Amino acid sequence: MTDRFSKLVQDFLTTYIIGECNYSMNTKASYSTTFHLFLEFMNKEKKIKPNKIEIETITKEVIVQFLDWLEINRNISLQTRNQRLSCIKSFYKYVQVNEPDLFDTCSLILSIKNKKVHNKIISYFSEDEIRIMINYLNNFKDLKKLTMVCVLYETGARISEFINIKLNDLNLSDNASITLYGKSNKVRVVPISQELVKLINKYLKEAYINYGEDYLFYSNYKKSYERSSINKIIHNFILQLKTEYPNYFHGSYSPHSFRHTKATHLYNNGTPLLYIKNFLGHSTISSTEIYASTDSKKQREEILKNAESIKTKNKYSTNKKDNLENWLKK
């Protein structure tokens, strides 16, 4: 890369993103991946090698073409496209402050709009399906996977939070809890039931092996799990359940479905949204409001219950109807 572009990118990723912002590892990785993909795009589509890129030649049109290339050639979702654009905009906000001569170019790039993403119906497990999972794993005596599923459900943890749980994060006393480290290194403590405490203790006693870093769950490679590994475990597990129980598990599920499930069950059982917000570690209540959508069990029951009290009386006489019909014909 040319000196100016190279220096700005490196300063942005190190001094700003790592030093000043102190973003999580996942966020840092997202920024790095975005720039790696941009260099690949410039090389393949624009025939400009990384060491020949000049920041003055990167226009709004080039960024839009890059985003379209990601969507078409890399087959990314609209959510991911918007995430890549967000990374680029953060970079150009940084450039705008530090390179005044590029102010106008930065302003044009910052004016690029996100693509509208249609809200998707959230797949979550019913309470019966959670019971089926637990019984299924109990019958197969898969203590580790049972503990993993129960921790995912009870804590409502994001997958990144889940794979980083360590022994020191466990409080298995009377007021039991697990400490989670979320986005932007935000810490929250979530309560867990005594049933889960007993299960964790049983797992630690009978199936757990500590390979030196004190993670609660280790992969078969004696390391902490990767996100992709947890995705694969849950995917294969749900496929088994769909085969065994064809009347259940009709949605499209992922490890994140346990988080959706816990929040939905809490809401359906009367937990205020503010409490659910804090439990999930959302920064704003608007992120939590998806669990109060019109397809929720609680709202459906309330609507149907109140609809029963609405009575309509036909006060419009037959003669008036006939007169209206004649008038419309004329």
| DSSP class per residue in 265-306 | HHHHTT--HHHHHHHHT-SSHHHHGGGGSTTSHHHHHHHHHH
For the sheet containing 187-191, what is the strand order?
170-171, 177-181, 187-191
By annotation, the residues acting in catalysis are 158, 183, 256, 259, 282, 291
Q: How far is CA 278 from the centre of its chain?
A: 16
Assess contact for 291 and 316: CB atoms under 8 A.
Answer: no
Can you say whether the dihedral through the CA atoms of 308, 310, 313, 314 is positive or negative? negative
- What are the backbone dihedrals phi and psi of residue 22, each rounded to the nearest 5 degrees, phi first? 55, 45
Assess contact for 93 and 110: CB atoms under 8 A.
Answer: yes
Closest CA to 11 of 134, 98, 70: 98
